[in-house]
Amino acid sequence: MKNEKLSQRLTQVGEFVPQDAILLDVGSDHAYLPIHLVKTGRINKAIAGEVVKGPYESAVANVQSAGLQDQISVRLANGLAAFEPTTDGVNTITISGMGGHLIAEILEDGRDKLCQVSTMILQPNNGERHLRTWLQAHDFTISDEKILAENDKIYEIIVAHPGQSVDILTEAELCFGPFLLQEKSTVFLEKWASELAANQEILSKIPASAQQKQAEFSAKIAKIKEVLNVS
């Protein structure tokens, strides 16, 4: 695999993977991330899980081409069914490029397998608030976040560890991200300025008779304005 195949998004996900972790990459697609991490010496062992046969076969071919069959096991499985805690020793999980609701569903379905997992790096394409809510409800603490733009899209990365946080996340932190809200990077401001415009456009088209819907979007707009410090 050539380095250029690893996107900026996946490169950033990989930077959160602890040195010498035993990794499960859920929805590994072409196994680009585990291959990159093994080749660069970040990790020595990984499982690439993929539920769709085409990407699974591509991952198998890429791992074989890289000569990493002894270090990366490619498995056709749904979510956390790709590993067994007692035999695989997985302590780090990455899930990238899916909706936040689906990521939360995958974690919920395999929750009994998370007892030995010390780090989860999650990159939802949407539904970030839902995912943060799930993490908090199941005693995972968000320890870091990153937001980045690539190919005209904006991505958020959430790093979580087991253990209930001392501080319960506020509604604003669930929505915007506790670390992202504190940092308020250029990309963060760009994302929420775009969301503000989109919500204002929707509000302008809601009929006056739909007062509950109007109130819902007005509240969203007010929340975003407060974060952006605009009137």
Q: pLDDT tens digits for the chain (231 residues)? A: 444 479 999 999 999 999 999 999 999 989 999 999 999 999 999 999 999 999 999 999 999 999 999 999 999 999 999 999 999 999 999 999 999 999 999 999 999 999 999 999 999 999 999 999 999 999 999 999 999 999 999 999 999 999 977 689 999 999 999 999 999 999 999 999 999 999 999 999 999 999 999 999 999 999 999 999 987
Query: Is the torsion defined by CA of 101, 87, 48, 177 positive or negative?
Result: positive
Alpha helical stretches, state H, the chain: 8-15, 32-39, 53-66, 85-88, 100-109, 128-137, 171-176, 178-183, 186-205, 211-228
Question: CA 125 to CA 153: how far, in whole Å?
Answer: 9
pLDDT at residue 231 in the model: 73
Task: Map tokens 């253990």 to a residue.
Answer: 163
Whether 187 and 149 have beta carbons less than 8 Å apart is answered as yes
Question: CA 169 to CA 142: how far, in whole Å?
Answer: 10
Whether 129 and 178 have beta carbons less than 8 Å apart is answered as no
Residue 15: name the closest of 6, 4, 5 by CA.
6
Task: Map tokens 């291959």 to a residue.
Answer: 35
Residue 102: name the closest of 74, 79, 76 by CA.
79
**What are the structure tokens assigned to 135, written together?**
């993490």
What separation in angstroms does the CA of 185 have from each of 70, 78, 117, 148, 191? 41, 35, 30, 9, 10
Residue 17 one-letter amino acid: V
- Number of CB atoms found within 10 A of residue 39's CB: 15
Q: The pTM is what?
A: 0.94
Angle at 126 between CA 98 and CA 145, to 5 degrees: 90
pLDDT at residue 220 in the model: 94
What separation in angstroms does the CA of 95 have from each of 13, 23, 39, 181, 187? 9, 11, 20, 22, 22
What separation in angstroms does the CA of 130 have from each of 96, 108, 127? 15, 13, 5
pLDDT at residue 120 in the model: 98
